[in-house]
Amino acid sequence: MDFCTDYAIAQPLAGTGAMALRHMFIRWPKGKWRRPRYQSAGLDEVLQRAIHESYGPNCYVGLLESDGGPDLELVSFPDSRTALPANQTEAVALIRAWADGTPLSGPVLPRPVILCCTDAKVNACCARYGFPIYKALREQAGAFGFDVMQTTHFGGCHFAPSVIVMPQRARYGRLTPDQIPSFLDTLAQGRHYLPAFKGRPELSEAEQAAEIAAWEWAEANGFTQDDVRLLDPIEGTGGTASAQAMVGNAVLAIGLETKSFHMHGTCRSLASDDGKTVERLIVTAVQVVHRP
């Protein structure tokens, strides 16, 4: 069987870190998840409407597997707040207030959280690749100071497994089980795990790609990620762009070029359409232009 990840494998992850500013999750048994998520089994119609009407470009509302926690508990990020409504009617009020900007007022989660999409209802890749990563994370993350939660689809499933580290809002893709110890150790040290990192979401695609390239150069040359600073805004024309980064006292020139890739956004797309072509700004050169 083909998977949409097979058609996206040529695309670099760097530059794909865009995501919503705020996330809200509702604990709900995974066996009741449906597609679309707001129509999951057991959700009252008013709660379905509240979920559906509360997400948008800057707000995501999804479901968490209960995993021993209480059904209907609300968890928001990046503030890591929680609330336990008495019933679905109270959940509706809290979700709509959150969507309007009112934060949850319950306890704060005690540890950083790694979210992992395992939502087979939306995409087969998230089950095939996401669930093994979720299991590996659940077995190992506690020792590094992280909690792990499995969620409904939050995008990027053609780069599955899709993982978000909160509250840092750091997106990762294509993790493999054998990478998990190194991944967790890197996160615990306060660094991004570059082999699977997609980029800081507050930056543009080009800035994300350039920054990751500078971090990679830095780590290969005895520096740290903290030593890197992107300089002037990225300039580009005619399908190319250039950026500069300061690494310690060295200045890097980073060249980027627009390249086209054919992809399928989900596994369902493989049977229903011919996919689409996307254009990506890819780093093509990193060189030192000044070193004192």
* Burial class (CB within 10 angstroms; exposed 0-12, middle 13-18, buried 19+) of 141: buried
Whether 71 and 81 have beta carbons less than 8 Å apart is answered as no
Q: Where are the alpha helices (DSSP H) in 57-176?
A: 88-99, 124-128, 130-140
- 158-185 confidence digits (pLDDT tens): 898 999 999 999 999 999 999 999 999 9
Higher pLDDT, 290 or 103: 103
pLDDT score, position 72: 96
Average pLDDT, the chain: 93
Residue linked to tokens 């939050």: 154
Please state, in angstroms and rounded to a whole number, the distance separating the CA atoms of residues 116 and 5: 16
pLDDT at 233 over 70: yes
Q: Which residue in 62, 36, 12 sits closest to 195, CA to CA?
A: 12
pLDDT tens digit sequence for 11-52:
999 999 999 999 999 999 999 999 999 999 999 999 999 999
Q: What is the pLDDT of residue 38?
A: 94
Separation between Cα atoms, residue 73 and residue 87, nearest integer Å: 10
Is the pLDDT confidence value at 215 over 90?
Answer: yes
Q: Given this model, what pLDDT does residue 267 score?
A: 76
Q: Is the pLDDT of residue 126 over 90?
A: no
Which residue, 262, 266, 267, is CA-closest to 279? Answer: 262
Mean pLDDT over residues 127-147, rounded? 95
The two three-digit tokens of residue 285, written as one number: 């050169």
pLDDT of residue 206: 93
Residue 106: pLDDT band by 50, 70, 90 thresholds?
very high
Contact 19, 25 (CB under 8 A): no
List the beta bridge partners of residue 220: none
Q: Is the pLDDT of residue 238 over 90?
A: no
Domains in the chain, CATH or no CATH each: 18-99 (3.40.30), 113-196 (3.40.30.10), 205-290 (no CATH)
The one-letter amino acid code at 145 reads G
pLDDT exceeds 80 at position 257: yes
**pTM for this prediction:** 0.94
| Span 226-250, average pLDDT | 89
> Average pLDDT, stretch 269-283?
85
Strands 170-172 and 81-83: unpaired
pLDDT band at 290 (very low <50, low <70, confident <90, very high): confident
**If DSSP codes are grouped into helix, strand and coil, which group holds residue 1?**
coil
- The whole-number pLDDT of residue 10 equals 87
pLDDT single digits (tens) 60-99: 999 999 888 899 999 999 999 999 999 999 999 999 999 9
| Model confidence band, residue 292 (pLDDT cutoffs 50, 70, 90) | low
* 44, 102, 120, 234, 248 from 157: Cα distances, Å: 28, 30, 10, 28, 36
Maximum CA extent, the chain? 65
Predicted pLDDT of residue 121:
79
pLDDT at 221 over 80: yes
pLDDT confidence bin for 1, thresholds 50/70/90: low
Which residues is 165 bridged to in the sheet?
114, 170
Q: Sheet harboring 113-117: ordered strands across?
A: 81-83, 74-77, 22-27, 59-64, 147-151, 113-117, 163-166, 170-172
The more confidently predicted of residues 5 and 100 is 100
Return the structure tokens found at 218: 């830095």
